[in-house]
């Protein structure tokens, strides 16, 4: 059973529908006990880092997520669920979960033709093989919507990058935690494939 963590930060039902499409058994919950009991956990989210952390802490979900990762349970972060796994975000100057050392920074471009948020389809290039990225081919694109990007301190965690006036980390892994900046639930076949592999993943790289 996959538990999709609901903390008022996004379209959890889109993620659930995509899990159902690939044959995953997924429920939505905001209960830390459900996270503790889950076989695997998806941690989605859009919106601002400050509100996301407030909502997580108010329900005790922050500690539940950290405990799940420490226990070696497969956990997938998506978008804001990736960003708040790092130590700190420039958005709302917010301290975050600290599952992965590093910062989250805002895109800042001198070129006015480059738009923020980075919104649309962009190519995902695999930098380090990972079971969840098996099957991704050169040129495969995923759907992004974000104004901030993760900058992990340890480049070893970077699994894939995308290019938006320079490369940024769009997929990372640390132990049984895997996260994407893009939205697999909105990335067609490529994204569904990732979710299908997550539904069967044992949490080991």
Catalytic residues: 79, 183, 185
Q: Which residues bind other proteins (CB under 8 A)?
A: 11, 13-14, 17-18, 20-21, 46-47, 112, 115-123, 137, 139-141, 143, 145, 147, 163-164, 185-192
**Cα dihedral 78, 73, 20, 86 in deg (nearest 10):** 0
Taking CA 136 as the corner, what is the angle to CA 17 and CA 11, rounded to the nearest 5 degrees? 25
Q: In what order do the strands lie in the sheet with 88-89?
A: 94-95, 88-89, 102-106, 148-152
Rounded to the nearest whole angstrom, what is the least distance from the CB of residue 37 to other proteins in the complex? 26
Rounded to the nearest whole angstrom, what is the least distance from the CB of residue 132 to other proteins in the complex? 17
Rounded to the nearest whole angstrom, what is the least distance from the CB of residue 13 to other proteins in the complex? 7
Rounded to the nearest whole angstrom, what is the least distance from the CB of residue 92 to other proteins in the complex? 14
Closer residue to other proteins, CB minimum distance, 70 or 163: 163
Q: What is the DSSP letter of 155?
A: G
Which two structure tokens, joined as six digits, stand for 90?
């420039």
Question: Is residue 146 within 8 Å of 79, Cβ to Cβ?
Answer: yes
Closer residue to other proteins, CB minimum distance, 69 or 78: 78
Q: What is the DSSP letter of 60?
A: T
Closer residue to other proteins, CB minimum distance, 120 or 129: 120
Taking CA 108 as the corner, what is the angle to CA 105 and CA 100, rounded to the nearest 5 degrees? 15
Question: Is residue 61 within 8 Å of 35, Cβ to Cβ?
Answer: yes
Closer residue to other proteins, CB minimum distance, 145 or 151: 145
């Amino acid at each position: 059973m996959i538990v999709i963590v609901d903390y008022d930060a996004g379209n959890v039902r889109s993620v659930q529908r995509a899990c159902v499409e690939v044959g995953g058994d997924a429920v939505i919950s905001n209960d830390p006990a459900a996270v503790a009991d889950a076989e695997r956990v998806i941690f989605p989210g859009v919106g601002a880092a400050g509100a996301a952390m407030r909502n997580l802490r108010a329900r005790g979900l922050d500690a539940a997520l950290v405990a799940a990762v420490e226990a070696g349970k497969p956990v997938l972060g998506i978008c804001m669920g990736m960003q708040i796994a790092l130590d700190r975000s420039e958005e709302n100057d917010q301290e975050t979960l600290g599952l992965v050392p590093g910062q989250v920074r805002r895109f800042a471009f001198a070129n006015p033709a480059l738009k923020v948020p980075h919104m649309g389809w962009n190519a995902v290039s695999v930098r380090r093989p990972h079971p969840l990225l098996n099957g991704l081919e050169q040129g495969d694109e995923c759907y992004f919507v974000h104004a901030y990007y993760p900058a992990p301190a340890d480049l070893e965690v970077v699994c894939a990058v995308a290019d938006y006036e320079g490369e940024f980390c769009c997929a990372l892994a640390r132990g049984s935690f895997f996260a994407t900046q893009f939205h697999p639930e909105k990335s067609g076949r490529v994204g569904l494939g990732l979710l299908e592999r997550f539904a069967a993943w044992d949490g080991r790289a």
